Structure 1
Amino acid sequence: MARTRRVDCSGPGIARLRRGRGFSYVGADGERIEDDATVDRIRALAIPPAWTEVWICSDPLGHIQATGVDAAGRKQYRYHDGWRRRRDAAKFDAMVAFARALPALRRRVRDDLRGDALDRTRVLACCVRLLDVGFFRIGSEDYAEQNETYGLTTLLRRHVRFDGDVIVFDYPAKDGLRRVQQVLDDDAAEIVHALRRRRGGGPELLAYKQRRRWVDVKADEVNEYLKDAAGGDFTAKDFRTWNATALMAVELAVRAADAGSRASRRRIVTASVRAVAVFLGNTPAVCRRSYVDPRVIDRFQSGLTLAAALAAPAEPDPDEPAEVRAVDERVRHAVLDLIADG
């Protein structure tokens, strides 16, 4: 199969024009596109009718095949299937390195969470802890300002409340969907509670004290802290990919006893993806395509799951007060064994 080529979507391309109830397509030379192969390729991209400012790549091997602006004013992309598959494969290959880096990362976060000050290091460590346990998107200032949709770093104080020891995050997330996330973590709760009730600063939840002023946390700062603490080129999105993969492995394991036939295995995979998608706040299709490492599903189809690891007694780390961390470490080892090659 021919390799895709990087293209500049700001350059010349094919335009989409409304024609009756459908569309016609015009090349960079101003001539109408009429050859069947090109028209079929464009239709296969399934570009939403509501998109405006549509640009379509003239090269069938371009890594970006189309762009457009959706009804909310956001630029959207359609990528070449081959390029997306290679990108996703590289992303999932990085999960092995991320899983191996997690213990050291978590120790660093635990150490940085100690203390009383709401300084930059402690608040950034809190952000990473929340990414680790809360399935958050990192957040975009542009999305918060333009669409009033939020992620971790753009949450407002009014998006948070407490139900006993549980932190409840209730906010409009990507695509305007209401997202309610509950987090039980004593270290994070102490900091979130203090930030929510602080005097001064803006409406944003996550901020740190620098001299006498409050500075809002930026997504880039969290990613920089994460790279330094983990010792690798990781980002906040790796937590969502890892958590989705680990949760999928657990979902498949607890359902494995019913996997007696090919049809039952298909049903189990479908049900498990749906369960993981709820935690992520994505559609099942996006969850499976973009977040769940396909090797977990492949191993399940071959009869390999985490069932034995989950049945084994946990060995708590004496430095970790929460029992859930011991369980998570056991799952981390088992998932790593499942997806690592050799």
Structure 2
Amino acid sequence: MHGPGWTRRRVGRGFSYRDETGQLIKDAERLDRIRSIAIPPAWKDVWICPWPNGHIQATGLDAAGRRQYRYHDAWRARRDAEKHERVLAIASELPDVRDQVAAALRTRGPNRERVLACALRLLDLGTFRIGSEEYAEENGTYGLATLRREHVTVRGERTFFRYTAKGGIEREVEITDRPTATVVRQLLERPDDAGDELLAYQLEDGTWHDVTSDEINAYLKEVSGAEITAKDFRTWNATVMMAAALAEQPPPRSRTARNKTIRAAYVRVSEQLGNTPAVCKASYVDPRVVDRYEHGETVADALGEAAGAEDDREAQKVLEQAVCRLLSV
């Protein structure tokens, strides 16, 4: 798949490595480079790039048999920067997407457009992972597209979610939003033989069709007219939450205090996302938010303006616009 490369073999409690010709690697510099890649010991069928500048440095199969990758730090940094630039550009499209979602939620019945609009609103408000049918079946872990009816309850305008998320994390989410609560209640009240999954829409012949993660992503592209994914929603929301968490704190008086505030903010955002601070930092939050904070720039003024907004949607708009300005400097 990647051409000739080095391989890893178990030797006692450690490993030996062989080059593309099958010769044992003994050179200290090469061994140091292999160790720096930090290939998990549990990986099998390991392939290591012979070249220090290759964008894929190593691959292997994890315990579940999935192919995993270790990328070159510089390549990953460039890709992450491109990702955050793309997400920032997409942020300007979100108000229009939300308007279309709101219009679809005002329709009647559990039709395709209304249920998919409900899914997008839940993604936006609950920072859910989209979910994978494969993960749900194999690991018993769930995302929005694979949630079961048993994971959800509705009380008035509030919808409560309690489920096992990716990584075995027990996640609880509460969303206060009348339009989505109305749709979710209808979905919970459908006949028992209409499927166990929460998200499903009714076809013209009266049968029910379970919503898939691909359908949600396709609908998001449909209403936005752009190459937006559910993960982009989650990435942008994580960045906005991080900006808000940092802006809520008083200016730090020392480097130690500043670093403590940053760590606490990552913990807070990771709890809202249902992952770890390390994953939050590596995969979701735009690092420019932290860089601006370290230089004394935050969205503190926008927080005050958002607090006086007419409703949550207006507050969200004010805060997001402030984050866009912060990152565009």
Shift in Å, 1:39: 1.6
Shift in Å, 1:29: 2.2
Shift in Å, 1:286: 1.4
Asked if residue 172 in structure 1 is aligned to residue 164 in structure 2, the reply is yes
The aligned residue for residue 229 of structure 1 is 223
The one-letter code sitting in structure 1 at the alignment partner of 2:274 is G
The aligned residue for residue 298 of structure 1 is 291
Shift in Å, 1:313: 6.3
- Farther-moved stretch of structure 1 (64-73 vs 195-204): 64-73
The aligned residue for residue 265 of structure 1 is 258
The aligned residue for residue 5 of structure 1 is none
The aligned residue for residue 239 of structure 2 is 245
Correspondent of 1:193 among 185, 188, 201: 185
In 1, are the aligned partners of 2:303 and 2:319 still within 8 Å (CA)?
Answer: yes
3-state SS in 2 of match to 1:312:
helix
Query: Could you tell me how far apart the structure 1 residues matched to 2:42 and 2:182 are?
Result: 45
The one-letter code sitting in structure 1 at the alignment partner of 2:184 is V
In 1, are the aligned partners of 2:156 and 2:181 still within 8 Å (CA)?
Answer: no
In 2, are the aligned partners of 1:12 and 1:28 still within 8 Å (CA)?
Answer: yes
Asked if residue 211 in structure 1 is aligned to residue 204 in structure 2, the reply is yes
* Cα distance per residue 1:209-240 (max 9 Å; x no partner): 12222111111111111112122111000111
Asked if residue 325 in structure 1 is aligned to residue 318 in structure 2, the reply is no
Shift in Å, 1:316: 4.8
In 1, are the aligned partners of 2:88 and 2:236 still within 8 Å (CA)?
Answer: no
- Identity in percent: 51
Correspondent of 2:55 among 63, 76, 84: 63
In 1, are the aligned partners of 2:251 and 2:296 still within 8 Å (CA)?
Answer: no
The aligned residue for residue 125 of structure 2 is 133
Gapped regions of structure 1 (runs ≥ 5) = 1-7, 318-322
The aligned residue for residue 280 of structure 1 is 273
Query: Could you tell me how far apart the structure 1 residues matched to 2:65 and 2:164 are?
Result: 17
In 2, are the aligned partners of 1:314 and 1:326 still within 8 Å (CA)?
Answer: no
In 1, are the aligned partners of 2:161 and 2:172 still within 8 Å (CA)?
Answer: yes
In 2, are the aligned partners of 1:258 and 1:264 still within 8 Å (CA)?
Answer: no
In 2, are the aligned partners of 1:161 and 1:169 still within 8 Å (CA)?
Answer: yes
Pairs aligned (count): 327
* Cα distance per residue 1:238-292 (max 9 Å; x no partner): 111111111111111111x241222211111111111111111121111112111
The one-letter code sitting in structure 2 at the alignment partner of 1:287 is C
3-state SS in 2 of match to 1:198:
coil
Query: Could you tell me how far apart the structure 1 residues matched to 2:199 and 2:4 are?
Result: 42
Runs of 4+ in 1 over 4 A off after TM superposition: 313-317
Query: Could you tell me how far apart the structure 2 residues matched to 1:147 and 1:102 are?
Result: 33
Shift in Å, 1:325: 1.2
* Counterpart mapping for 1:89-108 below 5 A: 89-108=81-100
The aligned residue for residue 337 of structure 1 is 325
The one-letter code sitting in structure 1 at the alignment partner of 2:214 is D
Query: Could you tell me how far apart the structure 1 residues matched to 2:275 and 2:306 are?
Result: 33
* Counterpart mapping for 1:79-158 below 5 A: 79-158=71-150
The one-letter code sitting in structure 2 at the alignment partner of 1:338 is L
* Cα distance per residue 1:282-315 (max 9 Å; x no partner): 2111111211111111111111111112123667
The one-letter code sitting in structure 1 at the alignment partner of 2:213 is A
Shift in Å, 1:89: 0.2
Shift in Å, 1:327: 1.2
Asked if residue 49 in structure 1 is aligned to residue 53 in structure 2, the reply is no
Query: Could you tell me how far apart the structure 2 residues matched to 1:88 and 1:33 are?
Result: 33
In 1, are the aligned partners of 2:306 and 2:318 still within 8 Å (CA)?
Answer: no
The aligned residue for residue 320 of structure 1 is none
Compute the RMSD of aligned alpha carbons. 1.7
The aligned residue for residue 22 of structure 1 is 14
3-state SS in 2 of match to 1:58:
coil
Correspondent of 1:220 among 214, 219, 223: 214
Query: Could you tell me how far apart the structure 2 residues matched to 1:92 and 1:313 are?
Result: 24
* TM-score, normalised via structure 2 length: 0.94
The one-letter code sitting in structure 2 at the alignment partner of 1:331 is L
Query: Could you tell me how far apart the structure 2 residues matched to 1:126 and 1:168 are?
Result: 15
The one-letter code sitting in structure 1 at the alignment partner of 2:13 is R
* TM-score, normalised via structure 1 length: 0.91
